[in-house]
């Protein structure tokens, strides 16, 4: 698995608020964080992964609060013997009853997609977007918002131990030679 990501602890009924554009907040019709309480994150909540033959600095940088992750198609996976192949995933909720993940968000041909199916946001290359993901474990639902607008709601893939991953890493669907994602203002909320 060609991976470069941070992970943080998963909380029941957590709102994963990934703030990618504070400029668009004023144009949003509703705030998906209403009714939620922010969870304080520390360095212990994060684990940086990179190709096993690279140092973290060769695939990650944080400049003024903007985290940049990148991988190449010929990079090694994050650990030896990982079965991951090509493509790019930028965010996922790991853990499910019948699959490895409850949610994957992928960039395919410039579009942000739920797995390799539904388009969540079109033409996201070289743009900041604000991504909010709510995983309501009790209701078994995942809801995705882009710039404050609900784009998709679907059933999750069953109970398990869950955790959030974000960054850039190879998946199963057609990848570029160079894959990159940038993140800022990562927040986790609980209800």
Helix H, strand E, coil C: the string for 18-69 is ECCCCHHHHHCCCCCCCCCEEECCCHHHCCCECCCCCCHHHCEEEECCEEEE
State yes or no: pLDDT of 54 exceeds 90.
yes
pLDDT confidence bin for 147, thresholds 50/70/90 = very high
pLDDT confidence bin for 119, thresholds 50/70/90 = very high
Sign of the alpha-carbon torsion through 46, 52, 56, 60: negative
pLDDT of 1 reads 36
- Look over the chain and give the mean of its residue pLDDT values, rounded to a whole number: 77
Beta strand extents in 109-185 (DSSP E only): 111-114, 119-121, 131-136, 141-146, 149-155, 163-169, 178-183
CA distances from 183 to 72, 80, 141 (A): 18, 27, 24
Q: Which domains does the chain have, with CATH numbers?
A: 5-190 (2.60.120.200)
Name which residue leads in pLDDT, 151 or 115: 151
Q: What is the mean pLDDT of residues 42-51?
A: 85
pLDDT confidence bin for 25, thresholds 50/70/90 = very low
State yes or no: pLDDT of 92 exceeds 50.
yes
pLDDT of 110 reads 84
CA distances from 112 to 49, 103, 123, 127 (A): 22, 13, 8, 11
State yes or no: pLDDT of 87 exceeds 90.
no
- Give the best-scoring range by mean pLDDT among 10-19, 52-61, 79-88, 93-102: 52-61
State yes or no: pLDDT of 58 exceeds 50.
yes
| C-alpha span between 152 and 104 (Å, rounded) | 13
Q: What is the mean pLDDT of residues 33-43?
A: 86
Residues 6+ apart with CB under 8 A from 40: none
pLDDT confidence bin for 163, thresholds 50/70/90 = confident
Sign of the alpha-carbon torsion through 187, 113, 26, 22: positive
Across-strand partners of 163?
A: 9, 94
* Alpha carbons within 13 A on the beta-carbon side of 10: 22
pLDDT of 131 reads 92
pLDDT of 145 reads 94
Q: What is the mean pLDDT of residues 171-188?
A: 78
């Amino acid at each position: 698995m060609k991976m470069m990501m941070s992970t943080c602890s998963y909380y029941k009924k957590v709102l994963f608020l990934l703030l990618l554009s504070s400029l668009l907040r004023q144009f949003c019709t509703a705030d998906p964080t209403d009714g939620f309480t922010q969870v304080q994150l520390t360095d212990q909540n994060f684990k940086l992964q990179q190709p096993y033959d690279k140092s973290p600095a060769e695939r990650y940088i944080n400049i003024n609060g903007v985290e940049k992750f990148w991988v190449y198609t010929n990079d090694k996976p994050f650990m030896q013997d990982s079965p991951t192949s090509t493509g790019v995933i930028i965010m996922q909720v790991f853990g499910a009853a019948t699959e490895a993940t409850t949610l994957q968000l992928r960039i395919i041909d410039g579009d942000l997609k739920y797995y390799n199916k539904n388009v969540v946001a079109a033409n996201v290359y070289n743009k900041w977007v604000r991504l909010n993901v709510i995983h309501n474990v009790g209701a078994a639902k995942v809801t995705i918002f882009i710039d404050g607008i609900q784009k998709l709601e679907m059933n999750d893939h069953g109970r398990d131990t869950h955790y959030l991953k974000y960054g850039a890493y190879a998946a199963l669907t057609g990848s570029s030679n160079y894959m990159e994602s940038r993140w800022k203002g990562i927040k986790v909320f609980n209800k």
